[in-house]
A and B are shown apart, each in its own frame.
Chain A
Amino acid sequence: MAAAMPLALLVLLLLGRRGWCLAEPPRDSLREELVITPLPSGDVAATFQFRTRWDSELQREGDTDHYFLRYAVLPREVVCTENLTPWKKLLPCSSKAGLSVLLKADRLFHTSYHSQAVHIRPVCRNARCTSISWELRQTLSVVFDAFITGQGKKDWSLFRMFSRTLTEPCPLASESRVYVDITNYNQDNETLEVNPPPTTTYQDVILGTRKIYAIYDLLDTAMINNSRNLNIQLKWKRPPENEAPPVPFLHAQRYVSGYGLQKGELSTLLYNTHPYRAFPVLLLDTVPWYLRLYVHTLTITSKGKENKPSYIHYQPAQDRLQPHLLEMLIQLPANSVTKVSIQFERALLKWTEYTPDPNHGFYVSPSVLSALVPSVVAAKPVDWEESPLFNSLFPVSDGSNYFVRLYTEPLLVNLPTPDFSMPYNVICLTCTVVAVCYGSFYNLLTRTFHIEEPRTGGLAKRLANLIRRARGVPPL
C-alpha cells in the first residue's frame, strides 16, 4: 500500500500536465469544399479548399515580432505528382473519402492551370487571445480545358474532370460541400443545365460582384441516397455567349526590357480599371542579387506623370548573401495604368554558381501586390465560422472593399556566361602572363649589364674547326 502511493504519483507525473490539468479534450475540425466555376470560354475552373483546425496548448506571447518574419520564394518549380502526394497526406482523410477522392494526379496535371497552396496560421480562440488554435488551410485550383482533354464537347461532369465521383463524405469532416457557380445562368435553364438539380443555393458578394452558387452537401443524407455516388453534370444547352470576361479592378503585368547581357530594365504595369476610385497598392519585389538594381533609376509614372510613392522601403542586396527587397506603397489613380520601372545590371557569376543549363536563364520571383480593392457592391464582413471557405479567401473587413493579393508572372533573365570548359586553360594562361612579368622584372632587377666576351671555342667549335682543317677550309 505504501509502495502503491509513490507508484501512483509516478504514473500521474509520467502522464504529465495533460492528464492532470486539462478539463476538455482538444478539438479539431475539418471543413472541405469544392467550388466549380464554369467560365465563359467553356472551360471549367475547380478549386478545392480544406481547412483543418486543432487546438494547441502553446501560449502565444504577444504579437509576432517582425524581426522574426521571413519572406522566401522559389521562382520556378515544375509542379508534378511529387508535390501532390505529400500535400494529400496532410489531409485527415487522405484520398480515401470525402472530396479528396477526386484528387488524382493524372487528371489534375492534365489541365491548363494548376496551383497548390498550404497556409498555416494561429487563430485566437477568445478575445484576449490567451489560447490559440492552429489552422491549416490547403487549396488546390485547376482549370480544365476542353482542347487539352482532346474532346471537343464542352459538357462537363465530375467524372469527366476527375475520373472519379463522390461517394461518401469524410467521417472526420464537419462540413463537406460542393458549390457550383450558376450566377449568369440562374434565371434561364436555356444556357446551362446543372444535373442533379440543386436543392439549396447560396448568394453572396465575392470579389465585389454578386454571385449565386448551387450547393451540394455531402453530409446531407438525401443527396447521397439517391444514387450511391454523386456525379454533378454541367450541360451547355446552347454555346455560351462570347462575352469578354469582366476585367478585375486590379491586375498587373511584369516584363524585362532591354537588349544584351549587360543591363536591362524591370517594368511592372499596374492596372486600376475602377472607373472613379483610386486606391493604394503595396508592391513587394524580391530580386536576386545577381541582378544589381539601381534604385536611383526607379521611376513610377501614372498617366504620363510622375507618381511618387507614399512609402518606400529598400534593402539592397549583398553578393551571394541576400536578395534585394523593394517595398512601396503606390497610389493608383482611377482608370489608369501605372508603370514602375527600375534598371539593373547583370552580374557575371562564378562558374559553379550557374544552373546546369545556364543559357536557359535565371528566374526572378514574382512581385506581390496587396491591396484593398473597392467593391461596387457592398458586402457584409466575413464570418470566419459560418461563411464558406472560399469566401474567406478574400476577406472583407468593412463592406466597401475586399483584400486581394496578386502575384505577377515570374521572369526569366539571361546572364552572361563564362566558358565552362576553360578552368584549367584560364589558370594556365593567366599564370603565364603573370610569369612573363615576373621573369622580365626578375631579370632586370637581379642582373646587371656586362660586356659579352666572345667565346673562345666551345667543344662544338673546336670539333668543327678540326673537320674544316681536314677539308682545307678556313676555320671559324
Chain B
Amino acid sequence: MAAPLALVLVVAVTVRAALFRSSLAEFISERVEVVSPLSSWKRVVEGLSLLDLGVSPYSGAVFHETPLIIYLFHFLIDYAELVFMITDALTAIALYFAIQDFNKVVFKKQKLLLELDQYAPDVAELIRTPMEMRYIPLKVALLQCFPQCYFSCLSDIPVSVPPYLVCPRTPLSPPAAVHTCENEEQGLLDLFLGVCHDVCGKPSGNRLPLLLPSQLLGFHPRSLWLYCWVSPDFKLSCAVKEGLSVPDLTPNIGLFWYFFAEMFEHFSLFFVCVFQINVFFYTIPLAIKLKEHPIFFMFIQIAIIAIFKSYPTVGDVALYMAFFPVWNHLYRFLRNIFVLTCIIIVCSLLFPVLWHLWIYAGSANSNFFYAITLTFNVGQILLISDYFYAFLRREYYLTHGLYLTAKDGTEAMLVLK
C-alpha cells in the first residue's frame, strides 16, 4: 500500500504548493470561515514582529498562541509553507497507519466475538471483511489531504502542526490517540502528544478521548509549567481565557459569535458558562455509553468539539470528516444522509456569498450570515447524531440478529425507548 499512499501525498503536496504560489493564497488566508482569531497565521507573524520590536506578544489582544509556537516559528518563519505541508503529509501518513492498525484490531475483535458466538446467526452481511476494509486507510488519508484542509493549510496553523510540537492546541491527536487507544504504546504516545503529556502508567484506551476536551483549551495540565518556564509572559489568561471567555467577536462558522454580540450584558457570564459547558459535558455520558468503542467515541467527541468550540473553522470540520471512510459500513443505517449532505454542501457554498454581501456589497446584513451558520451547524449536529444512531443500530443488529420479526410475524420496527 505504499505506492498509492505516496501518490496521494505527492498530489496533495503539489496542489498545496500550487495554491501557495497562486493569488488565491492571500484571498483564502483572510477568509473568516478558514481562520479564527485563535489560529490565524497573520497573528503569529504579528506576534513574532512584536517580539522583534521588544514588546511582549501577550501584551496586546492579537496574539493567542502558546509560547512554543513563537520559539519554533522564530526559526522557521521563512519556511512556514514547507512546515505546513510537511505536517499535513505527516498527519496523513500517521492517520493511514493508525487506521490500518485500527482495522486489524477491529478484525481481530470481530473474529473473537464470532468464535465466542456473541453474534446472532443471521448477521453475516454485517460482518466486515478484510477485502472491503483494504482501502479505508487510503481513503482516510485522501480525505485528510484534500478537501477543506487545503484552505486551513494556507491560512492558519494547520490542525496538524500542534501534535508534532509540544503544544497541542487543537483537538487533534487522532493519529497518536488512535495508536495508543488500540496499541497501548506509551512510547508512541510520548512522541506524538508532546513532552509533558500527563500519561503515566499504562494508558487505557478509554481514558484518552477524555483528555481531548482539555486539548481543546490548548494545553495539557502538566504542560502549563513548561509554558511558564519557556515564556514568563505567558499567562493562562492568554490562551485559555480567550478560548473560554470569547472576547473577540470576529464572525466564524460557529454558533456563538453573534450570540455574544447580541446578548444582554447582565447575563454574559451565565451564557458564556452555559455554552462552554456544551463542549465538555457530553464526554462522560459518551464515555459510559461507548466504552467498548473508543475510536468511535473519539470521533463523536472531535465532532462535538468542532461544532461547539468558541472559534471553529473549516479545518476542524475537515478533521472529523476525514474519518467518514472508517464508518463506511454504517451507510445502510443512516437515515438522513442525503438531506444532510445537501445542507452541508449548500451552506458551504453560501458562506462566502453571504459574507461578501454583508461586508463588501452592503446589501445584506449580519443576519444572513448568521442564518447560514445556524443551518450549517444544525446540519453538522444531525449528521453526527445520524452516525451515532447508525452505529448503535448496527450494534443492536449484531447482537440480536438482522432480520427481526415482531411477535405477530411481521417485520419488526426498531424504536429508541
Contact with A along B249-264 (1 / 0, CB 8 A): 1110001111111111
- Check: A476 CB closer than 8 A to any chain B CB: no
Name the residue in A259, A261, A422 with the highest tally of chain B Cβ atoms < 10 Å from its Cβ. Answer: A422
Residue interface bits B43-59, CB-to-A below 8 A is 1, else 0: 00110111001010001
- Count contacts on A: residues with CB < 8 A to the other chain: 53
Q: Is the C-beta of B289 less than 8 angstroms from some C-beta in chain A?
A: yes
Q: Verify B374–A433 contact, CB threshold 8 A.
A: yes
Name A263's closest neighbour in chain B (CB-CB). Answer: B30
Of all chain B residues, which has the CB nearest A348? B249
Is B406 a contact partner of A453 (Cβ separation < 8 A)? Answer: yes
A348 in contact with B251 given A416-B359, A429-B374 (CB within 8 Å): yes
**B255-A434 in contact (CB<8A):** yes
Q: Which of B61, B407, B417 contacts A316 (CB 8 A)?
A: B61
Cα A447 to Cα B392 with chains together (Å)? 10
Which of A4-12, A78-86, A145-153, A289-297 has 4 or more CB atoms under 8 Å from chain B? Answer: A289-297
B406 pairs with A416, CB closer than 8 A = no
Q: Which residues of B contact A296 (CB under 8 A)?
A: 45-46, 48-49
Does B396 lie at the interface of the complex (its beta carbon under 8 Å from any beta carbon of A)? yes
Closest CB-CB distance, A363 to chain B, in whole Å? 20
A452 touching B412 by the CB < 8 A rule? yes
The residue among A262, A317, A423 with the most chain B CB atoms within 10 A of its own CB is: A262
Segment of A25-33, A93-101, A181-189, A435-443 engaged in the interface with chain B: A435-443
User: Given contacts A318-B60, A419-B366, A449-B416, is CB(A351)–CB(B358) below 8 Å?
Assistant: no
Q: Are A352 and B265 in contact (CB under 8 A)?
A: yes
Nearest CB of chain B from residue A296's CB, rounded to whole Å: 4
A300–B264 Cα distance when bound, in Å, is 43
In the assembled complex, the CB of B409 is this many whole angstroms from the nearest CB of chain A, namely 11
- For A422, list chain B residues within 8 Å (CB): 262, 367
A23 in contact (CB, < 8 A): no
Within 8 A of B (CB), among A433-476: 433-434, 436-438, 440-441, 443-445, 447-454
Closest chain A CB from B267 CB (angstroms): 9
Answer yes or no: A315 CB below 8 A from chain B CBs: yes
Query: How many angstroms between the C-alpha atoms of A441 and B404 in the bound complex?
Result: 25
**Are A314 and B53 CB-contacts (below 8 A) given A350-B261, A437-B381?**
yes
Is B259 a contact of A452 with CB atoms below 8 Å? no
- Bits for B30-73, please: 1 = Cβ < 8 Å to A, else 0: 10100000000010011011100101000111100000000000
Q: Is A320 an interface residue, CB under 8 A from the partner?
A: yes
Which residues of B in the span 236-281 have a Cβ within 8 Å of any Cβ on A? 247-251, 255-265, 275, 278
Does the CB pair A292–B259 fall under 8 Å? Answer: no
Interface membership of chain A positions 321-349, coded 1 if the CB is closer than 8 angstroms to chain B and 0 otherwise: 00010000000000000000000000111
| Residues of chain A with a CB closer than 8 A to B262's CB | 350-351, 418-419, 422-423, 426-427
Which residues on the A side are within 8 Å of B256 (C-beta)? 430
Are A451 and B404 in contact (CB-based, < 8 A)?
yes
Counting CB contacts under 8 A, is A406 at the interface?
A: no
* A1 CB to nearest chain B CB (Å): 72
Q: A426-B259, A437-B307 are in contact. Are A453 and B407 (CB under 8 A)?
A: yes
B188 touches A (CB below 8 Å): no
**Judging by beta carbons under 8 Å apart, are B60 and A317 in contact?**
yes
A317-B60, A350-B249, A440-B382 known; A449+B377 contact, CB < 8 A:
no
**Chain A 305-319 against B: per-residue CB contact (8 Å), 1 yes, 0 no?**
000000010111111
Q: Is the Cβ of A447 less than 8 Å from the Cβ of B417?
A: yes
Which residues in A have their C-beta under 8 angstroms from that of B412? 451-452
On whether the beta carbons of B50 and A427 are closer than 8 Å, the reply is: no
- The answer for the CA separation of A432 and B20 in the assembled complex, in Å, is 40
Q: Does A267 contact B (CB under 8 A)?
A: no
Residues on B with beta carbons closer than 8 Å to the beta carbon of A314: 50, 53, 55
Q: Which of A262, A418, A443 contacts B258 (CB 8 A)?
A: A418
From the candidates B55, B257, B414, name the one contacting A452 in the complex (CB within 8 A). Answer: B414
Q: How far is the CA of A314 from the CA of B49 in the complex (A)?
A: 11
Write the residues of chain B forming the contact surface with A, with a CB cutoff of 8 angstroms: 30, 32, 42, 45-46, 48-50, 53, 55, 59-62, 247-251, 255-265, 275, 278, 282, 285-286, 289, 304, 307-308, 358-360, 362, 365-367, 370, 374, 377-378, 381-382, 385, 388-389, 392-393, 396, 404, 406-408, 410, 412-417
Return 14 A-B CB contacts under 8 Å, by A number: A296-B45, A315-B55, A315-B59, A417-B366, A423-B262, A440-B382, A440-B388, A448-B396, A448-B417, A449-B414, A450-B416, A452-B406, A452-B413, A452-B415
A-B pairs with lowest CB-CB distance, top 6: A316-B60, A440-B385, A296-B49, A447-B416, A260-B360, A452-B413
